[in-house]
């Protein structure tokens, strides 16, 4: 998880290291001896940039399961079952074996669905006319309107090039939707970028050459723009005591929300075409593995309630991202490589889902924690799911035999990731989400980017409260039914309603949910403040971790980051029982002067960190 | 006065009403002395829209051919449109609305005519007053007393008849202190912190003026608050520069040499015209439907509304910190002591005092700290964000309070006994109401106009069984602890429920609140059975 290590100048108390992590956390470590500090620094720098897959944690991570269980773990998410669920194959869309050995397109999955009228010759011809051979294939089929979302890469058209097979391919896509007379070709790039690509022999479809297509540009910026934009919003999140003006200006200047809106707009356009107009859509960008993945998966979320469930989101990510060759290892810097390949593409998808869940709080089965957990796993390489850049590469390094899938783990912890407000049936909208994308609907995703808040005690969470309420409601209902049954059995006749004594739990479970955090120092302005002198200034520092290593390790294990993480009380993935943290805090006085320690730290000091040289 | 003078066309058929969240509908329009009534009788289902004319902030008329369109912009930020056949009728209706929505005599307003069938005027009026607060707080009786020096409003026209002051200061001294404070608003106690016996006092600015006059009684009064050993804080809601400037116009501040045991802190809270302009800009930004993210963020920033929210909450946090954590009494004032002063003392009480966070407690707090303490509601809420009229005394201070309370409510969803719906209702009622609660500018005016005898009390009504359910927070679990709000910009959000109230998005969020309520009710039923 470490993305960079800084070594600021030595201070009297010792040498410092600042670790910046890929999940936007920042840790500050104080090491008494400068020599040790340099050693740790050197180790961290080397070990945080593995060069081979075999060095990654998932290859040595052993969650103590046997071979069958590991194999089963890879079977939890079954893409073929999902295609079946959406009604494919059928008389319009069929499975093709053309890519079964990754010969036509090495970054595509081996199992693909194409229009019934697309012969292997058309597929191969079309793939030759597409960047990286990524020919049009089915992403999502909408049973209600028979319209489909398909994806591909840009055509190699240059200024005047054309390809008969490719034109036939698009024609076939159109024919696979009996109700419509045209298809939309959504080029998710800004039009200027697409035109610039023509000079390199690539570009976009010429509407004169293809019959019955409507070309639409969406204007999602490229990975380089997104990378620098995210850096800016991270900086906004790290500002120490910004004024409202600084903050809003920083937010505007980062452009981040504008980009999130563009991705969501792309999804909305596709979903409208498919659901409201019943027209199929072919989506591409340049290579068809970044913006295309974003647009297709957002559209699926909007179109199909299934993808708003825990399992559904897993399936969706597995299909549109993992199987269709989103370059996880390059984009999230799993291995030391070209920094220009790194970009927060899936971060943006997850954020779109989060923005939607803020707009439709009852529409999603999962909560914010689930999205953040996925985000963490994409970067952490603890499991093999997000390793490599495509299916072929995974097969070549026998990934499934050497690592575990993350999904069963997330599924096991689903209680923690469930949204208590989830309402499965949404009859009035036929299950289709129609989000408002006016700028005022977008907010900064505090849960992901804001360390400052994470380092203060957790605030009250209505959803945790409601989860407990829901759980207890179920329990009580069960008890009630039990009692009724028993009474019915005793009396020999059914009873409709009886007053039954059930212990009242309100106080026992829910009593300790409040926390009164310390007054943040931010009320007092540094210059004019007389109350500044009582040492509270440190509490809202963004650097939320100060640990002392008395005897630092000479070589630290790869799993170091997990030890570090587990000390942080608010880390959602590490601290499985958030409520215990809340309960701990509630016992401290709100004026708490001396009890300001991390609850977890006092409860269980992580032995690995304090003792000598872990391994 | 006869309202009928202003109504040339009372009834009109075949009018088309367009309003947010509803399809357009065709029906009959009716103008009465206080209401605009629209009823649509299409296909058996009849729907009515009843709008208080007082709620209308601005109208715009446009005509095309023989028909006209009136756009009605309300103080609750709703925008309606009426398509009216016939030019003359259109102009008549517009004239009636313009005239009748701007009546400024309190006794002509609807609260004096509102007579609901299910309860009478003899019902109790009001929830709280300094007298009640004093009698409930036995701890106060040692060192504080209830003074009726203002019983005929002669000492301070904007104060209620009874106020709480230090026991050792007699009424004659109070009269002298009142002369040394703007508008006679001498320091009174508004909150007693049970945990450590510290208090919050509020007043208006002292009047040393350019000659640096002193008032011994004023100094004694403050000294009496903190006794001998202790020290106290004065939170001045103006910047130190503004306070210096006030000296030139006869106002000023408590100088260090005269009030040696009091430490003055300046925290500027925007008020008056600047705050009104901020609201206008924000509402304008929220109405911008162009899909340009940069423009939205820059408009939001430019309105400065959220900066005002941040300033108010952090100053209130500072005040609470002085009282609760550092154990000092605090005097808070700005210049007049009727706006920012009340804002800060109210928020600080919500932060510290669990009693203020229940539904009743909150309403009682508002009654004490705003209605009785003399916030000039009538002047401040005469117009809202849409009005074309030249702004006079308008300023959305109370709305800023509600926004800040909403921020607290959002950060501590379990600590407050009331719901967002209550805050929205109050935001509407302050500008246009069936009830007399927010009428007039002071206790004295209300008394003179007979508000208490001739109108109904909003706060009592909100607590009646049928209404109450709507306004309590299903997740409420009272906590004794102080709730320290985060004032980091990322923790403060636009109050969508109010500013984007008439959009689809807010609709979804309201549904969510409903669902939460249902879940908790179901659980409680089972847990109790």
CA Rg value for chain A: 27
Question: Any chain B CB within 8 A of the CB of A242?
Answer: yes
Enumerate residues 274 to 293 of chain B having a beta carbon within 8 A of any beta carbon in chain A: 285-286, 289, 291-293
pLDDT at A15: 86
A460 near B CB under 8 A: yes
State whether B523 and A476 contact (CB < 8 Å): yes
Residues of chain B neighbouring A533 (CB-CB closer than 8 A): none
Backbone angles phi, psi at B136, to 5 degrees: -75, -35
Model pLDDT for residues B454-465, shown as the tens digit of each residue? 899 999 999 988
Which pLDDT score is estimated for B23? 86
Cβ-based contacts of B412 with chain A (< 8 Å): 459-460, 514
**Residues of B in Cβ contact (< 8 Å) with A360:** 508
Tell me if A252 and B528 make a contact (CB, 8 A cut-off): no
How are beta strands B25-31 and A2-6 bridged, if at all? Answer: unpaired
CA–CA separation, B493 and B491 (whole Å): 6
Q: Say what the pTM is.
A: 0.85
Residues of chain A with pLDDT under 50: 427, 454-458, 494-518, 525-615
Residues in chain A closer than 8 A to B525 (CB atoms): none
CA dist A592 → A349, A588, B70, B485 (Å): 40, 6, 59, 15
**Ranges A220-234, B117-131, B185-199, B324-338: which has the least confidence:** B117-131
Contacts A420 to B, Cβ<8 Å: 519
Q: In this prediction, what percent of chain B has a pLDDT beyond 70? A: 98
Q: pLDDT tens-digit profile of B254-264?
A: 999 899 899 99
Query: What whole-number percentage of chain B has pLDDT above 90?
Result: 58
Whether residue B94 lies within 8 A of chain A, CB to CB, comes out as no
**pLDDT, averaged across chain B:** 90
Q: Which helix (H) or strand (E) holds A601?
A: helix A599-603
Tell me if chain B has a CB within 8 Å of the CB of A513.
yes
What is the per-residue pLDDT for A13? Answer: 82
Contacts of A265 in chain B (CB under 8 A): 291
Is the domain spanning B130-473 CATH 3.90.190.10? The answer is yes
A178 reaches B (C-beta below 8 A): no
Q: Residues of A annotated in the binding site for substrate, as ranges? A: 222-223, 285-291
- State the average pLDDT over residues B500-505: 82
Residue to mutate among B296, B352, B473, B495, with most A CBs inside 10 A, is: B296
Q: Which residues of B365-394 are buried (b: 16+ CB within 10 A; e: fewer)?
A: bbbbbbbbbbbbbbebbbbbbbbeeeeeeb
In degrees, rounded to 5, the angle at the alpha carbon of residue B363 between the alpha carbons of residues B361 and B368 is: 90
* Predicted pLDDT of residue A459: 57
Report the gap between the CA of A29 and the closest CA in chain B (Å).
25
Q: Does A422 touch chain B (CB under 8 A)?
A: no
The structural domains of chain B, with segments of one domain joined by +, span 3-103, 130-473
**B126 vs B232 pLDDT, higher one:** B232
Q: How far is A296 from chain B (nearest CA, A)?
A: 22
Rounded to a whole number, what is the distance in Å from the CA of B462 to chain A's nearest CA?
Answer: 25
Query: Is A439 within 8 Å of B293 when comparing Cβ atoms?
Result: yes
Could you give the strand order of the β-sheet that contains A15-21, starting from the edge strand earlier in sequence?
A: A2-6, A15-21, A26-31, A546-548
State the catalytic residue, choosing from A285, A296, A388, A515: A285
| Partner residue opposite B307 with nearest CB, options A243, A362, A586 | A243
Given CB atoms, is A487 within the 8 Å cutoff of chain B? no
Residues B323, B329: Cα–Cα separation, whole Å:
6
Active site residue A441: no
Question: Which residues in chain B are closer than 8 Å to A476, comparing Cβ atoms?
Answer: 523, 526-527
Q: Is the dihedral of CA A203, A204, A208, A209 positive or negative?
A: positive
The CATH number fitting domain B3-103, selected from 2.60.120.10, 2.30.29.30, 3.40.190.10, 3.20.20.10: 2.30.29.30
DSSP string, B451-512: HHHHS--HHHHHTSHHHHHHHB-TT----SS------SGGG----HHHHTTTSHHHHHHHHH
Interface test with A, best of B408, B416, B482, B490 (most A CBs within 10 A): B490
Q: Decide: B422 and B357 in contact? Cβ < 8 Å.
A: no
Mutate to test the interface with B, among A591, A592, A594 (most CBs of B within 10 A): A591
Q: Of the ranges A331-345, A598-612, B34-48, B192-206, which one carries the lowest mean pLDDT score?
A: A598-612
Q: A511 in contact with B at a CB cutoff of 8 Å?
A: yes
* Cβ-defined contact of A244 to B511 (cutoff 8 Å): no
- Please answer yes or no on whether B265 and A528 come within 8 Å at the CB atom: yes
A-proximal residues of B, 324-343, CB under 8 Å: 324-326
CB contact under 8 A, A523 and B504: no
Measure CA A440 to chain center: 23
Residue of A nearest to B508 (CA): A360
């Amino acid at each position: 998880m470490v993305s960079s290590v800084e070594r600021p100048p030595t201070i009297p108390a010792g040498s410092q290291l600042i670790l910046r992590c890929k999940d936007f956390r920042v840790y500050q470590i104080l090491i008494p001896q400068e020599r040790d500090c340099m050693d740790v620094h050197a180790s961290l720098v080397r070990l945080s940039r593995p060069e081979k897959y075999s060095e990654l944690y998932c290859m040595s991570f052993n969650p103590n399961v046997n071979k069958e269980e590991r194999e089963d773990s890879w079977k939890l998410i079954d893409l073929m079952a999902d295609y079946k669920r959406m009604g494919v194959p059928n008389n319009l869309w069929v499975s093709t074996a053309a890519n079964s050995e990754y010969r036509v397109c090495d970054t595509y999955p081996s199992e693909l669905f194409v229009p019934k009228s697309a012969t292997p010759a058309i597929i191969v011809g079309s793939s030759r006319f597409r960047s990286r051979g990524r020919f049009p294939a089915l992403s999502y089929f909408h049973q209600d309107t028979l319209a489909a979302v398909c994806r591909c890469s840009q055509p190699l058209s240059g200024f005047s090039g054309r390809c008969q097979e490719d034109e036939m391919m698009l024609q076939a896509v159109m024919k696979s939707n009996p109700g419509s007379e045209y298809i939309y070709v959504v080029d998710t790039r800004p039009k200027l970028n697409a035109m610039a690509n023509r000079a390199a022999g690539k570009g976009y479809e010429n509407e004169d050459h293809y019959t019955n297509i409507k070309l639409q540009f969406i204007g999602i910026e490229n990975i380089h723009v997104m990378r620098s934009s995210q850096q800016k919003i991270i900086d906004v999140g790290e500002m120490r005591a910004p004024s409202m003006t600084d903050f809003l200006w920083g937010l505007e200047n980062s452009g981040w929300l504008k980009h999130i809106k563009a991705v969501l707009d792309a999804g909305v356009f596709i979903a409208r075409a498919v659901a409201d107009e019943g027209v199929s859509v072919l989506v591409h960008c340049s290579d068809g593995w970044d913006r295309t993945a974003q647009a297709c998966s957002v559209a699926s979320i909007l179109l199909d309630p299934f993808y708003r469930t825990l399992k559904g989101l897993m399936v969706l990510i597995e299909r549109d991202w993992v199987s269709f060759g989103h370059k996880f290892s390059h984009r999230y810097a799993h291995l030391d490589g070209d920094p220009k390949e790194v970009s927060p593409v899936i971060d943006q998808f997850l954020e779109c889902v989060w923005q939607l869940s803020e707009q439709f709080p009852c529409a999603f089965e999962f909560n914010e924690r689930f999205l953040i957990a996925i985000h963490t796993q994409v970067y952490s390489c603890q499991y093999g799911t997000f390793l490599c850049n495509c299916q072929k590469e995974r097969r070549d390094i026998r990934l499934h035999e050497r690592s575990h899938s993350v999904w069963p783990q997330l599924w096991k912890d689903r209680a923690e990731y469930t949204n208590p407000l989830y309402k499965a049936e949404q009859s009035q909208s036929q299950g289709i989400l129609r989000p408002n994308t006016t700028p005022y609907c977008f907010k900064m995703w505090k849960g992901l980017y804001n360390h400052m808040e994470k380092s203060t005690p957790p605030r009250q969470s209505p959803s945790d409260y409601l989860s407990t309420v829901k759980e207890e409601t179920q329990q009580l209902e069960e008890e009630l039914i039990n009692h009724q049954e028993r009474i019915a059995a005793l009396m020999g006749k059914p009873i409709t309603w009886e007053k039954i004594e059930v212990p009242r739990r309100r106080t026992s479970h829910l009593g300790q949910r409040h926390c009164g955090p310390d007054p943040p120092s931010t009320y007092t302005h540094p210059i004019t403040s007389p109350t500044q002198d009582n040492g509270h200034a440190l509490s809202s520092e963004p650097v939320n971790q100060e640990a002392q290593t008395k005897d630092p390790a000479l070589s630290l294990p790869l799993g170091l980051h997990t030890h570090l993480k587990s000390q942080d009380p608010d880390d959602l993935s590490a601290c499985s029982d958030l409520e215990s943290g809340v309960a701990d805090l509630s016992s401290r006085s709100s004026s708490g002067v001396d009890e300001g320690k991390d609850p977890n730290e006092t409860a269980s000091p992580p032995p690995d960190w304090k003792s000598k040289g872990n391994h | 006065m006869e309202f009928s003078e202003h109504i040339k066309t009372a009834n009109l058929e075949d009018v088309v009403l367009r309003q947010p969240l509803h399809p357009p509908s065709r029906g009959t329009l009716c103008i009465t002395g206080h209401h605009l009534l629209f009823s649509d009788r299409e296909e058996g289902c009849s729907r009515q829209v009843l709008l208080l004319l007082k709620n209308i902030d601005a109208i715009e008329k446009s005509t095309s051919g023989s028909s006209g369109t009136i756009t009605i912009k309300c103080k609750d930020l709703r925008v309606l449109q009426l398509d009216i056949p016939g030019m003359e009728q259109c102009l008549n209706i517009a004239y009636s609305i313009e005239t009748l929505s701007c009546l400024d005599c309190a006794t002509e307003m609807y609260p004096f005519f509102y007579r609901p069938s299910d309860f009478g005027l003899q019902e109790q009026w009001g929830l709280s007053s300094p007298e009640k607060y004093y009698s409930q707080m036995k701890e106060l009786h040692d060192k504080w007393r209830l003074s009726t020096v203002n019983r005929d409003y002669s000492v301070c026209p904007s104060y209620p008849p009874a106020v709480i002051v230090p026991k050792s200061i007699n009424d004659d001294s109070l009269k002298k202190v009142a002369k040394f404070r703007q508008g006679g608003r001498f320091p009174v106690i508004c909150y007693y912190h049970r945990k450590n016996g510290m208090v919050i006092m509020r007043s208006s600015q002292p009047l040393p003026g350019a000659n640096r006059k002193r008032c011994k009684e004023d100094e004694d009064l403050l000294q009496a608050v903190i006794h001998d050993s202790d020290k106290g804080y004065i939170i001045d809601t103006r910047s130190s520069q503004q306070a210096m400037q006030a000296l030139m116009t006869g106002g000023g501040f408590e100088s260090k040499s005269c009030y040696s045991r009091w430490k003055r802190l300046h925290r500027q809270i925007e008020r008056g015209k600047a705050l009104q302009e901020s609201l206008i800009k924000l509402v304008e930004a929220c109405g911008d439907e162009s899909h340009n993210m940069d423009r939205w963020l820059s408009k939001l920033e430019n309105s400065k509304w959220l900066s005002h929210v941040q300033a108010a909450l952090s100053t209130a946090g500072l005040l609470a910190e002085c009282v609760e954590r550092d154990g000092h009494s605090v005097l808070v004032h700005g210049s007049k002591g009727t706006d920012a002063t009340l804002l800060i003392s109210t928020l600080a009480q919500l932060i510290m005092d669990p009693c203020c966070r229940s539904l009743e407690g909150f309403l009682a707090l508002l009654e004490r700290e705003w209605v009785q303490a003399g916030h000039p509601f009538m002047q401040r809420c005469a117009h809202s964000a849409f009005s074309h009229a030249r702004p006079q005394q308008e300023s959305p201070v109370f709305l800023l309070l509600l926004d800040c309370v909403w921020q607290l409510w959002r950060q501590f969803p379990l600590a407050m006994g009331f719901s967002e719906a209550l805050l929205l209702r109050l935001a509407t009622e302050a500008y246009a109401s069936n009830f007399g609660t927010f009428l007039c500018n002071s206790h004295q005016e209300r008394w003179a106009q007979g508000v208490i005898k001739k109108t109904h009390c909003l706060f009592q009504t909100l607590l009646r069984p049928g209404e109450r359910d709507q306004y309590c927070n299903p997740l409420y679990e009272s906590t004794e602890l102080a709730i320290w709000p985060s004032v980091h910009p990322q923790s403060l959000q636009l109050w969508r429920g109010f500013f984007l109230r008439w959009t689809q998005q807010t609709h979804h969020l309201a549904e969510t609140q409903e669902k939460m309520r249902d879940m908790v009710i179901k659980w409680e039923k089972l847990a109790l059975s």
